[in-house]
Amino acid sequence: MGEFKFIDSITNNTIFDKSSVKVGIGDDCAVCTNTSNMDTLISTDMMVEGIHFTDKTAAPFDVGYRLASANISDIAAMGGYPKQIVLSLALSKNLDTKWVQEVYRGLKMICQRYKVNIVGGDTVSTTGPVVLSLTIIGEVPVGEAVLRSGAKVGDYIGITNYLGLSRVGLETLLKEEKDQMRCAFRYAYSQEAHQRPEPQVELGILLRKHGAHAMNDISDGLASELNEIAKASNVQLVIEEEQIPIHEEISAWSKNKDKAELNRPVDYVLYGGEDFQLVFTIGQKGFDKLKNKSHIHFIGRVQEGPTSVFATCSDGTSYKVLPHGYNHFKEED
């Protein structure tokens, strides 16, 4: 580990579910046990300083929290159980060790909540920006992973909780920074959604158990994720704008025409990213069971037709929903 001896100080208390780990941090590999009749899920995410986080919008605690959240969310999107993670770090030589300790504090908090073990990693120095790379291993009952490609004509389209809050949180944080004002009291929910998003593990498992046919987690905005499902499943998705729940903080912020970056509240839902909520499609039986469940909203149907996504409006008009995500809008603004 060379100059990063301090890593020793943060690699204790990393096991939150002993039952699946024989050897954790300290040897050449971690040794974990597999549960019988489970498929293994593997996913990885990277974050680069200056691209995915800056000191302005994210405390190091939140960087660790968000990185693990995004990673755990990928497991949730398959209907799976998150189990183990390994974290690799490229750190600049003059970086304050306190910064890394804070990253690990955020990481451990969310790992503890979801009983995910930190079983290893790698630490190197870099002359460039800080880079964090997180790999997660999870499990799902054999053959039951919920794929993007499973949507069927006639399915109902559902989402979990509210979408678009993270983008509002980011915009309000950046404005606060620029204008030296505080609006946290007004946009507390959005800022929390941006800084400490919660992966929807329980709902992902529930949706799998109720037979969801297709599922994605929402990292790039609903428009983008719906298009991915449409493409992978070769179907047409039609959502009704009126059925989409809009959180009151999004309504309040989008009224602020000279400050809000997107026009309509529903644009935040469609094009705001990083909510880490879930979008799914499910057949009639699942719909009947879940239609009155809290935290789940049904917003449209799967139809036959060329691979595409449409939205219908209350005035009877409709428009094609293109897969512009958060990044696209960032570039154009």
- Chain residues that interact with Mg ion, rule: CB under 5 A: 122
**Residue with smaller CB distance to Mg ion, 122 or 179:** 122
State which of positions 255-294 bind ligand ADP (CB under 6 A).
Answer: none
Q: Which amino acid is at 175?
A: K
> What is the nearest approach in angstroms of ligand ADP to the Cβ of residue 111?
11
Residues in binding contact with ligand ADP, number by CB under 6 A:
14
Instruction: State the burial class of residue 92 (Cβ atoms within 10 Å of its Cβ: 0-12, 13-18, 19+).
Output: middle
Contacting ligand ADP within 15-54 (CB under 6 A): 25-28
Our finding on whether 123 is near ligand ADP (CB under 6 A) is yes
Which residue number, 7 or 270, has a Cβ lying nearer to ligand ADP?
7
123 binds, among ligand ADP, Mg ion, none (CB under 5 to 8 A by kind): ligand ADP
Please select the residue that binds ligand ADP; options are 64, 120, 199, 286, rule is CB under 6 A.
Answer: 120
Piece in contact with ligand ADP (CB under 6 A), picked from 118-126, 219-227, 228-236, 239-247: 118-126
Contact 146, 207 (CB under 8 A): yes
Is position 122 an interface residue for ligand ADP (rule: CB under 6 A)?
yes
Beta-strand ranges (E) seen in the chain are 21-23, 31-32, 38-48, 81-92, 117-126, 131-141, 156-160, 214-217, 236-240, 278-282, 296-303, 308-312, 318-320
Instruction: Tell me which of ligand ADP, Mg ion, none is bound by residue 235, counting a contact when its beta carbon lies within the kind-specific cut-off of 5 to 8 angstroms.
Output: none
Among residue numbers 65 through 94, which ones bind ligand ADP (CB under 6 A)?
87, 89
Asked if 124 is part of the footprint of ligand ADP (rule: CB under 6 A), the reply reads: no
88 vs 92, beta carbon nearer Mg ion: 88
Structure tokens at 240: 């009704």
Of the candidates 254, 249, 272, 274, the one whose C-alpha atom is nearest the C-alpha of residue 264 is 254
Q: Are 229 and 145 in contact (CB under 8 A)?
A: no
Would you say 25 or 116 has its CB closer to ligand ADP? Answer: 25
Binding site partner of 110, from Mg ion, ligand ADP, none, Cβ cut-off 5-8 A by kind? none
Closer CB to ligand ADP, residue 85 or residue 290?
Answer: 85
| Rounded Cα distance, 327 and 102, in Å | 28
Query: Least distance to ligand ADP from the beta carbon of 240, Å?
Result: 46
Residue 8 binding result from Mg ion, ligand ADP, none, given CB thresholds of 5 to 8 Å by partner type: none
Q: From residue 170, how far is each of 32, 163, 188 by CA, in Å?
A: 38, 13, 11
CB of 123 to ligand ADP, least distance (A): 4
CB-based contacts of 10-18 (< 8 A; 24+ apart in sequence): 10/100, 10/101, 10/104, 11/118, 11/121, 13/108, 14/108, 14/111, 14/117, 14/118, 14/119, 15/117, 15/118, 15/119, 16/111, 16/112, 16/115, 16/116, 16/117, 17/83, 17/115, 17/116, 17/117
Q: How far is the CB of 274 from ligand ADP (least distance, A)?
A: 24
In the complex, the residues that contact ligand ADP under the rule CB under 6 A are 1, 7, 11, 25-28, 87, 89, 118, 120-123
